């Protein structure tokens, strides 16, 4: 299965694609969709186009997006929420199921603790995807989101299989 992870951001939207085969993970691609200045509508359109191109190029089977945490700056949180809307919309337009994960859940899955810093996340992503050339911290976070989604899908599959066998 091919998984797309998305770390939403209005200036830098990280993305990462991995393949899963059972418990084996392999890196496919990663990058950062960047927007420059301009008004909000132009920036959102730029993110939409770039993410649409990523999906067309890599053809994922499923996607996952990091949930937004609310901070003290309400205006910044709203803008991030709009970028997150693009991150949810584009995969849905492509017919993909989209999972959502809290930042602490992603960190706990990939690093083992819920309050890991960006350096720890990047290190563990490189350990789990040897040879991956990671485009930056936002791309590392996106790959971590993809790894988290793959893990949760595998777990859900095992639970469903066990439930089926129990019947």
Assess whether 66 carries a catalytic annotation: yes
Pairing between β-strand 24-34 and β-strand 12-21 as defined by DSSP bridges: antiparallel
Burial class (CB within 10 angstroms; exposed 0-12, middle 13-18, buried 19+) of 137: middle
Catalytic residue among 19, 36, 61, 66: 66
Which has the closest alpha carbon to 34: 136, 146, 120?
A: 136
**Within a 10 A sphere around the Cβ of 53, how many other Cβ atoms?**
12
In angstroms, the CA 105 to CA 103 distance is: 5
Assess whether 138 carries a catalytic annotation: yes
Catalytic residue among 7, 42, 133, 164: 7
* Cβ pair 117, 80 in contact under 8 A: no
Catalytic residue among 19, 73, 117, 138: 138
* Cβ pair 17, 4 in contact under 8 A: yes
**Residues taking part in catalysis:** 7, 66, 138
């Amino acid at each position: 299965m091919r998984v797309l992870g998305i770390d939403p951001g209005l200036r830098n939207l990280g993305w990462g694609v991995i393949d899963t085969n059972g418990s084996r993970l392999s890196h496919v691609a990663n990058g950062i969709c960047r927007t420059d200045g301009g008004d909000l509508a132009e920036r959102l359109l730029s993110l939409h186009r770039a993410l649409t191109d990523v999906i067309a190029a890599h053809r994922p089977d499923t996607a996952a997006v990091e949930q937004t945490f609310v901070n003290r700056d309400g205006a910044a949180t709203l803008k991030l929420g709009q970028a997150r809307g693009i991150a949810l919309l584009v995969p849905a337009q492509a017919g993909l199921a989209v999972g959502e994960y809290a930042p602490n859940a992603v960190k706990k899955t990939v690093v083992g603790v819920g309050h890991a810093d960006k350096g720890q996340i990047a290190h563990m992503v490189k350990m789990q995807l040897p040879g991956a050339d990671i485009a930056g911290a936002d791309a590392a976070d996106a790959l971590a989101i993809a790894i988290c989604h793959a893990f949760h899908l595998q777990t859900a599959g095992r639970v469903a299989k066990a439930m089926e066998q129990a019947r």
